[in-house]
A and B are shown apart, each in its own frame.
Chain A
Amino acid sequence: MGACRTIDNMLLTISTTYRPATDLGYLLHKNPGRFQSFPLPFGRAHVFYSVADADRCTAALLLDIDPVGLVRPKAGASNSAGWLQQYVNDRPYVASSHLSVAIASVFNSALAGNCRERPELAQQPIPLEAQLPTLPSREGPELIGWLFEPLGYAVEIQEHPLDAGFPEWGVSPCFGVGLKGVVRLRDLLAHLYVLLPVLDDAKHYWVGDDEVDKLLRFGAGWLSDHPQQELISTRYLKRQRSLVLQALDRLSDDGQVAPNVAAERGQHDEERLETPLRLGEQRIQAVLAALREVGATRVLDLGCGEGNLLRELLREPAFRAITGVDVSHRALETAHSRLRLDNLPAAQRERITLLQASLTYQDQRLAGFDAAVAMEVIEHIDPDRLEAFEAAVFGAAQPGAVVITTPNSEYNALFENLPPGEFRHRDHRFEWTREQFQDWAQAVAGRRAYDVSFHGIGSEHPEYGAPTQMGVFTR
């Protein structure tokens, strides 16, 4: 079961101090004197006004989500995958894509900017305030500011302790949020419509091509200028790369991206992404160089994951037989589709094989290769299982050469965001200093009749060395 990927606001209140404030009723197309309920696919929405004076008017949209219905698998579903989702969840209590759906359904006209009684008012910025008592933001409150502040809102954030009885547990990933600004109501609703699911990062429904249209429609006039445009598109489209690219393309094709904005965006991305990307790229290049150096033509990529190294191996015809191995069947499926194996020409296709295999069991299928690569793999193995890894790779598979890369923990001191003693990745079981890695590698080489040489990958620090270390074993 994954983490609890939350969250829709169950409650949204919208207030105005525009005079007469009760005009909000016209704008929303909902009578302040009534309590109205609307059926939705996942429950009901109620609309009512807690205050309706000339000075101030507050409309509330309250969702009543059916928690049992959410978890029960649909009749006729081929398997019970539904059960494997979070079975106790916060859907009913937080602001998520459910709230977006409710906004689009209940405030349909207002979102479109239509208002029969006050058409000019609908096109006019007025002082508005939205309150969302349970807005999820797993990355912390900052993201809420990053998303709403560029749109002109004053953002007020209230933290909730996860459990008052256990202060050591920290704060909830759900925040009470107030947004204040002078905006058109239709814009406020569109911002919420798009950004609530972005914050929640877990749309409750399937995302298809028409979502790109929706994103562009409701993002019209603001998304192309938004500094978080890429993050918004990515998350709104549930990280489906092709859809995201389509959306970003269309945003720029329409000429909506001003050149300076584009440059700014590029710069921002680089700041955020360049360092890790470059290290990953350098690692791949270093591994490829090592493989060329030993003259390998039949190569095993142990722990190939989603196929980053495989892609590069495929580009070099010298690697005539490439076998990607991972213990995760799902990772292999992703690799299969990312490498577009089904569409490769036969001659290319024949060069590559993907296998599910474990590095702690002996496996005859892994024997007979010129070289095996374990790039950023060993640190995901429990230290007391390295013995089995050694036996499976050096003892049973016995490739002509073995290339192993792993983080150099000394370099961690240079990562500002990494507290001392912590690892670079949650699943790392250890991170070694250069000495630790070399001690281990030399012992393995000694036992298994290999020679080993060591190399740093990435920019070398005089004291801490390179961020990644590589051992090249040859026979």
Chain B
Amino acid sequence: MKLEIPELCLVALVGPSGSGKSTFAARYFKPTEVVSSDACRSMVADDPNDQAATPEAFALLNFIASSRLRVGRLTVIDATSVQPQARKSLVELAREHDCLPVAIVLNMPESLCLARNQGRDDRNFGSHVVRQQTQQLRRSIRGLRREGFRYVYVLDTPEDVAAASIQRVPSWTNRQHETGPFDIIGDVHGCFDELVLLLERLGYQVTQPPAERGAEDGFSVFHPQGRRAVFVGDLVDRGPGVANVLKLVMSMVTDGTALCVAGNHESKLVRKLKGRNVQVSHGLAESLEQLELETPQFQQQATQFMDGLISHYVLDGGNLVVAHAGMKEEYQGRASARVRDFCLYGETTGETDEWGLPVRADWAAGYRGKATVVYGHTPVAEPAWLNRTINVDTGCVFGGSLTALRYPENELVSVPAAQVYYEAVRPLVGGPEEEPRVAGTNDRPSNLLHVDDVMGKRVVSTRLRGNVTVREEQAAAALEVMSRFALDPRWLVYLPPTISPCETSKLPGLLEHPAEVFGYYRTNGVSSVVCEEKHMGSRAVVVVGRSADVTQRRFGIASESAGTCYTRTGRRFFEDPALEAQFLERVRAACGESGLWEDLETDWALLDCELMPWSMKAQELVLEQYAPVGVSAYAGLSAAQTPLQGASARGVDTGETLASVDQRLHLAQLYREAYARYCWPVTSIDDVKIAPFHLLASEGRVHSDKDHLWHLAMAERLSQADTGLFRATGHRVVNLASHEEEEDAVLWWEELTSAGGEGMVVKPVDFVAAGRRGLVQPAMKCRGGEYLRIIYGPEYTLPANLQRLRGRGLSTKRSLALREFALGLEGLQRFVDREPLYRVHECAFGVLALESEPVDPRL
């Protein structure tokens, strides 16, 4: 006997002790698929027959089975299950996980069971036990279907068992092997003319049946490129062409040029046609009237067709799900009454709105699945993406339009309704969610991020560097910073990576020197690098839109200044909104002046910059750390000079101490000069300077495919457009095969740093460069000696100090730099690809989380 079971189900092997359940399970199922009560007894009580352990053993059994079903694994329960109560809990377990319960009954002769048990010395219970179990089983067999088992197979003899074979069949909803391309069409509701127009616009050739032939011959529809239509249900009711719509769709489904899922209107119509008592409302009357005019044969075919519609389809390798009213991730591919209800009606909160219609729970807002879900059911004015879900019911029958989503292109095609066929109870809104959204953007309600999107250990999959792990404690730290200090996450599409310094130089008096940077890149197979002057400011990311409409549409934030500027930890850069607005206005003007909008075919841009003065953002650091150290050093050391001089004058030998204090006083002075160089007060926009060095992204593109010379050229164009605000970034390309070019670059660095410059940042000419061992550092800094005095303290250059500081380790910093680089670009790519906010946010959040890693902050 061939036993067909669904590929995902809960199989209960039912039979008394000794009926051969474990042997059967071992023969037909993987060992890991089988959960045995005896094994669970052993696990909790060291003895498979310890009846006292039964409650704990079944708790464990349930836990294992539950976990398996949750992740979608077929599970076989090897327990006697001869009592109704035991089976009831298995049926409930299956329902809880929305999969079908299957019973395979081993109804062996009692004598055989007894004989088997006697042959085993671990089963010393009396024969009455087996007898009782057998009797319980026999009483149960007839009622198994009523108990809820959807498949019941009874094997009565050892021969039946020997002849049995198990065949796993895909569930009805599983059409993963069908890869499209598809055109998914919203609620038609009898709008036949619009449907034909839409199909034609989508490239289908629709042939109507000749008038003299019976309608039963149906329509002929085909697409030259082999595209197929998928209907989201609600073909019927309300509209004028219900019968023709059914004929057309039935023909297409029969011919294999369309799939159709069930809608709630089909469900209700079928019940009415089958003679059930159904309230005739919501346009059911129109269907009934129109079908009345058709032949009984067609009525029967139509009923059969609608009755056989599946709740939802999982298509294209699991990447596409079509259901009438939507589909939660945990229900996809599952089968149960509540899954079907969800497909037909969606999820409601139990409340009704001011028009008396049910208030829908916002399942799409919480949707985090990887499959695109296309659905209909609730008419919306414009289809809008929300977390990879889209509602394509644009209310044709209410005078809206009939819409199709082309998959995988994700393009919307619609035809307007020729007229209002049916009055809507409530006006069409933007979507079932609270806030209106705009078509084709990832312009989402602000409140859709869930704490589960960021908390706990997370693995973010990046294009550049595979999986990047964010540890739980890093996420916890970032949650605080993100919540307390960061901007609205819709702005934070990118956070810049940290930059590692070069290897520590061994040259006297220096910690960092360009030779080390060049050496690193040469060793890693990079042939030419660009050296960029490092402006001494603070890292800033600038998002600027051409107008407030643009940022509203693209970022979902109503901001009069049409952009934002934030620090590398996502904080607002400008405390004064007026100053920020002036700043953004100037940047916007420069983008316009330089022709950036036109050249990049964009109306927004994201710039990675250095913003000056340093003291603007670092004021607190200067006032609370650098300056107090400077003044204390100066005052303390000055005060020490006098008594030392006094002692010397008295003829006391003070050794090296006075000379040392004199020297340290000099270093303290250098230290104060070092930080003061980068401080100036900001009283107006004229005091602010910006030096962009990456034009990271604009509409539709992340510019990591351009080399740094392109980025610098774009920055140069901006700075020419507004020389007051922008600072160009001095740079030079160095061919690492040329000793002279390297020497020149070292000289340039020495000039820069001796004039008080911070130093330089060196990057491979290509934005993303891979060497023999994978991604190389995207940038490396090489800081000047006086700048490092601010970082390492006034006296770091004393030989003994320098010697010890050379022991700094760079590996953590470098690894972080690469991971953050990969996360940063990943987030941007996702944003540019209009992926859901939570997918973009997890990248920026990840960068912030990685930054909580304890690393020597002086690097």
Tell whether A391 pairs with B629 under 8 Å between CB atoms, given A1-B857, A87-B858, A174-B635: no
Report Cα–Cα, A168/B801, bound state, in Å: 34
Residues of the B chain whose Cβ atoms lie less than 8 Å from the Cβ of A83? 854-857
Task: List A39-59 residues whose CB lies under 8 Å from chain B.
Answer: 46, 48-52, 58
Question: In the complex, which residue of chain B has the Cβ closest to the Cβ of A7?
Answer: B632
Residues of the A chain whose Cβ atoms lie less than 8 Å from the Cβ of B212? none
The reply to whether A361 and B643 contact each other, CB–CB distance below 8 Å, is: no
Q: Mark B310-340, 1 if CB is under 8 A from A, else 0.
A: 0000000000000000000000000000000
The reply to whether B482 and A358 contact each other, CB–CB distance below 8 Å, is: yes
Counting chain A residues whose Cβ lies within 8 A of the other chain, the interface size class is 35 or more
Question: In the complex, which residue of chain A has the Cβ closest to the Cβ of B623?
Answer: A169
Q: Is A86 an interface residue (CB 8 A)?
A: yes
Q: Is B791 an interface residue (CB 8 A)?
A: yes
Report Cα–Cα, A360/B640, bound state, in Å: 54
The reply to whether A50 and B644 contact each other, CB–CB distance below 8 Å, is: yes
Residues of the A chain whose Cβ atoms lie less than 8 Å from the Cβ of B654? 35, 46, 48
Residues of the A chain whose Cβ atoms lie less than 8 Å from the Cβ of B679? 166
Q: Is A392 an interface residue (CB 8 A)?
A: yes
Tell whether A163 pairs with B631 under 8 Å between CB atoms, given A35-B655, A388-B446: yes
Q: Is B279 an interface residue (CB 8 A)?
A: no
The reply to whether B643 and A13 contact each other, CB–CB distance below 8 Å, is: yes
The reply to whether A359 and B483 contact each other, CB–CB distance below 8 Å, is: yes
The reply to whether A327 and B484 contact each other, CB–CB distance below 8 Å, is: yes
Report Cα–Cα, A134/B636, bound state, in Å: 6
The reply to whether A67 and B801 contact each other, CB–CB distance below 8 Å, is: yes
Residues of the B chain whose Cβ atoms lie less than 8 Å from the Cβ of A382? 487, 572
**Inter-chain contact total with CB atoms closer than 8 Å:** 219
Residues of the B chain whose Cβ atoms lie less than 8 Å from the Cβ of A90? 628-629, 632-633
Residues of the A chain whose Cβ atoms lie less than 8 Å from the Cβ of B792? 87-88
Report Cα–Cα, A357/B476, bound state, in Å: 9
Residues of the A chain whose Cβ atoms lie less than 8 Å from the Cβ of B623? 162, 169
**Which of B627, B631, B652 has a CB less than 8 Å from the CB of A33?**
B652
Q: Is A311 an interface residue (CB 8 A)?
A: no
Q: Mark A76-98, 1 if CB is under 8 A from B, else 0.
A: 00011101101111101110000
**Which of A49, A52, A174 has a CB less than 8 Å from the CB of B628?**
A174
Q: Is B548 an interface residue (CB 8 A)?
A: no
Report Cα–Cα, A436/B446, bound state, in Å: 23
Q: Is B447 an interface residue (CB 8 A)?
A: yes
The reply to whether B629 and A358 contact each other, CB–CB distance below 8 Å, is: no
Q: Is A161 an interface residue (CB 8 A)?
A: yes
Report Cα–Cα, A427/B620, bound state, in Å: 14
Question: In the complex, which residue of chain B has the Cβ closest to the Cβ of A62?
Answer: B640
Q: Mark A169-188, 1 if CB is under 8 A from B, else 0.
A: 10011101000000000000
Tell whether A388 pairs with B629 under 8 Å between CB atoms, given A3-B624, A35-B654, A88-B791: no
Q: Is B51 an interface residue (CB 8 A)?
A: no
Residues of the B chain whose Cβ atoms lie less than 8 Å from the Cβ of A67? 793, 795-796, 801
The reply to whether B632 and A6 contact each other, CB–CB distance below 8 Å, is: yes
Q: Is B772 an interface residue (CB 8 A)?
A: no
Report Cα–Cα, A41/B148, bound state, in Å: 78
Residues of the B chain whose Cβ atoms lie less than 8 Å from the Cβ of A395? 434, 447
Which one of B244-252, B450-458, B508-516, B759-767 is at the interface?
Answer: B450-458
**Which of B627, B645, B681, B856 has a CB less than 8 Å from the CB of A162?**
B627
Residues of the A chain whose Cβ atoms lie less than 8 Å from the Cβ of B857? 1, 83-84, 87
Q: Is A275 an interface residue (CB 8 A)?
A: no
Tell whether A88 pairs with B653 under 8 Å between CB atoms, given A48-B644, A362-B450: no
Counting chain B residues whose Cβ lies within 8 A of the other chain, the interface size class is 35 or more
With a 10 A CB-CB cut-off, give which of A79, A94, A168, A359 has the most chain B CB atoms. Answer: A94
The reply to whether A50 and B647 contact each other, CB–CB distance below 8 Å, is: yes
Tell whether A174 pairs with B451 under 8 Å between CB atoms, given A1-B857, A83-B854: no
Report Cα–Cα, A122/B849, bound state, in Å: 60
Closest beta carbon of chain B to A74's beta carbon, Å: 14
Tell whether A356 pairs with B484 under 8 Å between CB atoms, given A35-B652, A169-B627: no
Q: Is A133 an interface residue (CB 8 A)?
A: yes
Residues of the A chain whose Cβ atoms lie less than 8 Å from the Cβ of B660? 64
Residues of the A chain whose Cβ atoms lie less than 8 Å from the Cβ of B638? 133
Q: Is B684 an interface residue (CB 8 A)?
A: no
Q: Is A190 an interface residue (CB 8 A)?
A: no
Q: Is A165 an interface residue (CB 8 A)?
A: yes
Residues of the B chain whose Cβ atoms lie less than 8 Å from the Cβ of A11? 636, 639-640, 643
Q: Is B352 an interface residue (CB 8 A)?
A: no
Q: Is A263 an interface residue (CB 8 A)?
A: no
The reply to whether A172 and B477 contact each other, CB–CB distance below 8 Å, is: no
The reply to whether B793 and A356 contact each other, CB–CB distance below 8 Å, is: no
Q: Mark B434-462, 1 if CB is under 8 A from A, else 0.
A: 10000000000111111111110000000
Report Cα–Cα, A4/B640, bound state, in Å: 23
Report Cα–Cα, A176/B645, bound state, in Å: 19
Tell whether A358 pairs with B479 under 8 Å between CB atoms, given A33-B652, A67-B793, A88-B625: yes
Residues of the B chain whose Cβ atoms lie less than 8 Å from the Cβ of A385? 488
Task: List A145-176 residues whose CB lies under 8 Å from chain B.
Answer: 160-163, 165-166, 168-169, 172-174, 176
Report Cα–Cα, A163/B674, bound state, in Å: 12
**Which of B448, B624, B631, B645 has a CB less than 8 Å from the CB of A161?**
B631
Tell whether A133 pairs with B639 under 8 Å between CB atoms, given A34-B652, A90-B632: yes
Report Cα–Cα, A16/B764, bound state, in Å: 67
The reply to whether A60 and B624 contact each other, CB–CB distance below 8 Å, is: no
Q: Is B773 an interface residue (CB 8 A)?
A: no
Residues of the A chain whose Cβ atoms lie less than 8 Å from the Cβ of B676? 163, 165-166
Residues of the B chain whose Cβ atoms lie less than 8 Å from the Cβ of A6? 628, 632
The reply to whether B672 and A163 contact each other, CB–CB distance below 8 Å, is: yes
Question: In the complex, which residue of chain A has the Cβ closest to the Cβ of B473?
Answer: A329
Residues of the B chain whose Cβ atoms lie less than 8 Å from the Cβ of A169? 622-623, 627
Tell whether A133 pairs with B635 under 8 Å between CB atoms, given A50-B644, A83-B857, A327-B483: yes
Tell whether A60 pairs with B643 under 8 Å between CB atoms, given A329-B480, A356-B479: yes
Report Cα–Cα, A390/B435, bound state, in Å: 14
Q: Mark B653-674, 1 if CB is under 8 A from A, else 0.
A: 1110100100000001000100
Question: In the complex, which residue of chain A has the Cβ closest to the Cβ of B808?
Answer: A72
Closest beta carbon of chain A to B669's beta carbon, Å: 11
Question: In the complex, which residue of chain B has the Cβ closest to the Cβ of A166?
Answer: B679
Closest beta carbon of chain B to A127's beta carbon, Å: 19
Report Cα–Cα, A131/B425, bound state, in Å: 87
The reply to whether A172 and B631 contact each other, CB–CB distance below 8 Å, is: yes
Closest beta carbon of chain A to B362's beta carbon, Å: 9
**Which of A49, A168, A174 has a CB less than 8 Å from the CB of B632?**
A174
Question: In the complex, which residue of chain B has the Cβ closest to the Cβ of A60?
Answer: B643
Report Cα–Cα, A384/B446, bound state, in Å: 11
The reply to whether A176 and B626 contact each other, CB–CB distance below 8 Å, is: no
Q: Is B642 an interface residue (CB 8 A)?
A: yes
Closest beta carbon of chain B to A94's beta carbon, Å: 5
The reply to whether A134 and B632 contact each other, CB–CB distance below 8 Å, is: yes
Q: Is B804 an interface residue (CB 8 A)?
A: yes
Report Cα–Cα, A381/B793, bound state, in Å: 36
Tell whether A172 pairs with B632 under 8 Å between CB atoms, given A51-B646, A83-B856, A134-B639: yes
Report Cα–Cα, A174/B643, bound state, in Å: 20
Report Cα–Cα, A364/B451, bound state, in Å: 8
Task: List A82-118 residues whose CB lies under 8 Å from chain B.
Answer: 83-84, 86-90, 92-94
Task: List B774-833 residues whose CB lies under 8 Å from chain A.
Answer: 790-793, 795-796, 801, 804-805
Closest beta carbon of chain B to A99's beta carbon, Å: 11
- A-B pairs, top 9 by smallest CB distance, nearest first, are A391-B447, A50-B646, A133-B639, A50-B643, A358-B483, A93-B632, A93-B636, A60-B643, A361-B451
Report B's interface with A, CB cutoff 8 A: 434, 445-455, 476-477, 479-480, 482-484, 487-488, 572, 621-633, 635-640, 642-647, 650, 652-655, 657, 660, 668, 672, 676, 679, 681, 790-793, 795-796, 801, 804-805, 854-858
Could you list 7 A-B pairs, sorted by A, with CB under 8 Å? Answer: A13-B643, A35-B657, A49-B650, A50-B644, A90-B633, A92-B636, A93-B637
Beyond contacts A62-B657, A163-B631: 6 other A-B pairs, Cβ-Cβ < 8 A, are A4-B624, A4-B625, A60-B643, A93-B629, A93-B635, A133-B636
